[in-house]
Amino acid sequence: MSAAPGSKGKVLLAYSGGLDTSCILVWLIDQGYEVLAYMANVGQEEDFEEAREKALKVGASKVFIEDLRRELVEELVFPTIQANAVYETVYLLGTSVARPVIARSQVKIAQQEGCTHVSHGCTGKGNDQVRFELAYYALDPKLQVIAPWRIPEFYQRFPGRNALLAYAAEKGIPVSQTPSKPWSTDENLFHISYEAGILEDPNVTPPKDMWKLTVDPEDAPNTPERITITFKEGKPVRVTNESDGTDVTDPLDLFLYLNTVARRNGVGRIDIVENRFIGIKSRGCYETPGGTILRAAHIDLEGLVLDREVRAYRDEHITPVFGKIMYNGLYFSPEGDLLTKMVPLTQTNVNGSVRVKLYKGSLSIDGRWSDTETLYDMEQSSMDVQGDFEPTDSEGFIKIQSIRLKKWGAKFQK
């Protein structure tokens, strides 16, 4: 028997417009909650107005659609590039970086609307439930969380898609006639992920029509495309296309343009098996077009302008930890706060430009320069010009470095 709507309080639901969250919205109303729907525009291809109408039709008292694309790029994507952060050496954190801005906006609206609860449609086996809920609790410890896919009453009633479809029919929930894909996706302007379904077998080759963002590398243009990316303090500030003269400087437009050129050249695909935070291995396929270009160019420029010891310290103590914190959903934490303040300190000298060639799914660096940083000295590095480096100084350097090695090697001569 349904409880009176609103008798249990007010809940702000992270809503996608899909079957799962539409059923969750109605189910929460049946449980006695007043439900407000919240959607975050983080660059996914979505008809937000259609989703708004659907949420209102099935019972949401209010719908909030927030455009978070710019803050995602400026506050999360660019700092992640500055840190060269990845998870398990290859995953570029595309899903992870969007979660902090989505959760922060959801909490802010919940507070403004006097909500007692927030809710989401994350599964009980995935990382996102952890990412969202740790953010909720860090940003407002008083908020209560409803996670339907961890409530036995819910997941036992809806063991699969057919049960959700039956409930939708019973409750008059509109259902898209688009056939269900045999995998699940999550999309934002940084990337798209594909997992579950047929992809759960790690030896199944993804079908060609699965990849949504990038052209198949084999079908990409036969002529390379060349761009120049300019960085200031480790953040991209300009992209220039050497072929057609396109010049972009606005942070959001710049990133979207990088996505465009990467997509048409088939750049940014990976297929991996990773370790989820909760302890389960998961196979995921990802497209991160613009992010792949940016990270490669940023790493290359650092070789030219970044001090050796600063780079080594960052690579050992900041980069891997930053990636792990982002992946595990600990951006809003004492350690997350510390690291986000440390990253810019490593980037003050990362100023210059990198020339990048894109061709059939690959990228390579054509060259790099800096008008302000002088760590690289052509004369000093040259094998043809002595410059101010005295070769005989190397003899003393080698002798000092060899002291302990001679002692180590001597014990094998006895």
At 174, list the tokens.
């509109």
**302, exposed or middle or buried, with CB in 10 Å at 0-12, 13-18, 19+?**
buried
C-alpha 33/C-alpha 106 separation (Å) is 17
At 401, list the tokens.
């470095």
C-alpha 42/C-alpha 75 separation (Å) is 13
Query: Read out DSSP for 257-275?
Result: HHHHHHHHTT--EEEEEEE
For helices 94-112 and 319-328, what crossing angle results, to 10°? 50
Check if the beta carbon of residue 289 is closer than 8 Å to that of residue 259.
yes
How many other CB atoms are there within 10 angstroms of residue 284's CB atom?
Answer: 19
Q: DSSP assignment, residue 206?
A: P
Check if the beta carbon of residue 261 is closer than 8 Å to that of residue 240.
no
Task: Provide the annotated active-site residues.
Answer: 20, 99, 128, 184
Beta-bridge partner residues of 232: 235
Residues 6+ apart with CB under 8 A from 123: 129, 149
Distances (CA, A) of 166 to 150, 162, 172: 21, 6, 10
At 356, list the tokens.
């990048």
How many other CB atoms are there within 10 angstroms of residue 225's CB atom?
Answer: 20
C-alpha 349/C-alpha 375 separation (Å) is 10
Check if the beta carbon of residue 351 is closer than 8 Å to that of residue 373.
yes
Tabulate helix, strand, coil % of the chain (nearest 5). Answer: 45, 20, 35
